[in-house]
Amino acid sequence: MRYSDLTLPTPEENLACDEALLELCEAGNGEELLRLWEPAQHFVVVGYANKAAAEVNLAFCRTNAIPMLRRCTGGGTVFQGPGCLNYSLLLRTDGPSPLHSIPATNDYIMSRHQAALASLLQAPVERQGHTDLAIGGLKFCGNAQRRCKRFLLFHGSFLLHLDISLMEKILPLPSRQPGYRVNRSHTDFLVNLHIPAHSLKAALCKAWNATEPLAEIPFEQINALARGKYALDEWNFKF
């Protein structure tokens, strides 16, 4: 598998990068890939079908110049910023594959990540909800996917040193929550791993045998998507 440790300057570009890479793979011009990136600023990302006004304190975001964007995958709303490590997997789904359905894909990827994190942390790691990873009932990773005909995008965020107290001001309790959350606040539900990002990056690369650097980045497509989609209110506030 190829890998790319690539953080782009803006939130819009980083979200556009995942979609551009998926489009490249779907068109037959890309290979399976693990991308890793770390945001340099705080921003909010709602899932494709989320209603921004219901899931985000938009007034606080506007007052504090915190961008609110929409991603191309499902799932719930995520607070991003320094102290998060994001990963994106581009995996082939055509032909014989353990990724033939959403539940099968969740099981395949989450089982691999559960084992990798348990080994790295030397602690029991739980799979909770559909695609959460947790320790002692406290969530440290959430994930989402988008499926095309030939490839899928599966991506997520690991909490390493994120400011969860700031998240409390930006995100109300989600409109939909997994049963194990039992209405807990973000502070009581989430946990930072407090490990170096490079250690987790190495564990993920090992788990996916991602050893070959990605040679070409589709910057033109990324920039076009960032400007023509992810920077527009028509996309970000479509629901």
- Give the residue-averaged pLDDT of 76-80: 96
pLDDT band at 30 (very low <50, low <70, confident <90, very high): confident
For 101, half-sphere exposure in the C-beta direction (CA atoms, 13 angstrom radius) is 3
Top pLDDT among 220 and 96 is at 220
Confidence band of 109 (pLDDT split at 50, 70, 90): very high
pLDDT band at 69 (very low <50, low <70, confident <90, very high): very high
Question: Residue 100, exposed/middle/buried by CB under 10 A (0-12, 13-18, 19+)?
Answer: exposed
Q: State the average pLDDT over residues 220-235.
A: 97
For the chain, give the percent of residues with pLDDT over 90.
Answer: 93
Map out the domains of the chain with their CATH numbers: 2-236 (3.30.930.10)
Q: What angle (nearest 5°) sits at the alpha carbon of residue 197, between those of residues 82 and 145?
A: 75
Calculate Rg over the CA atoms of the chain. 17
Residue 238 — φ and ψ, nearest 5°?
-70, -20
For the cut 90, the answer to whether the pLDDT of residue 96 exceeds it is no
Question: At 194, is the pLDDT very low, low, confident or very high (cuts 50, 70, 90)?
Answer: very high
Predicted pLDDT of residue 86: 98
In this prediction, residue 25 carries a pLDDT of: 94
Helices in the chain by DSSP H: which ranges?
11-26, 52-55, 58-63, 102-121, 164-170, 186-189, 197-207, 219-225, 233-236
In percent, how much of the chain has pLDDT > 70? 100
Phi, then psi, of 38 in degrees rounded to 5: -130, 115
- Alpha-carbon torsion, ordered 27, 33, 38, 43, to 10 deg: 30
pLDDT of residue 239: 86
Question: Cβ(68)–Cβ(58) under 8 Å?
Answer: yes
